[in-house]
Amino acid sequence: MNIKKAVELRIIELCNERSIAINALANISGVSPSTVYSMLNKKSQNPGVVSIKKICDGIDISIREFFDSDLFDDLEQEIK
């Protein structure tokens, strides 16, 4: 799995755990819904760390907690 897909799945996982919709996540994070949706589809291949940090702030977790998931184990090599 690549990092983009892992970030996408982690955002979905966190929304499901907290029973919040993507639009609600965007609102509480101060990130536009279009930014969040672009992180969840093929438009954005490089989800920004600032946007990820804002999402973490919105759901009251640390960036460390965001990446503390099995999804980020064994990622594909980005440099080929």
Any domain includes 30: yes
Any idea what the CATH number is for the domain that residue 17 is in?
A: 1.10.260.40
Any domain includes 79: no
Query: Half-sphere exposure (CA, 13 Å, Cβ side) for 27?
Result: 5
Parent domain of 65: 3-72
Q: What is the pLDDT of residues 25-79, one digit of tens each?
A: 999 999 999 999 999 987 777 889 999 999 999 999 999 999 999 999 989 888 8
**pLDDT higher than threshold 90 for residue 12:** yes
How many domains does the chain contain in total?
1
pLDDT at position 46, please? 83
- With beta carbons less than 8 A apart as the criterion, state whether 69 and 75 touch: no
Any domain includes 78: no
pLDDT at position 47, please? 86
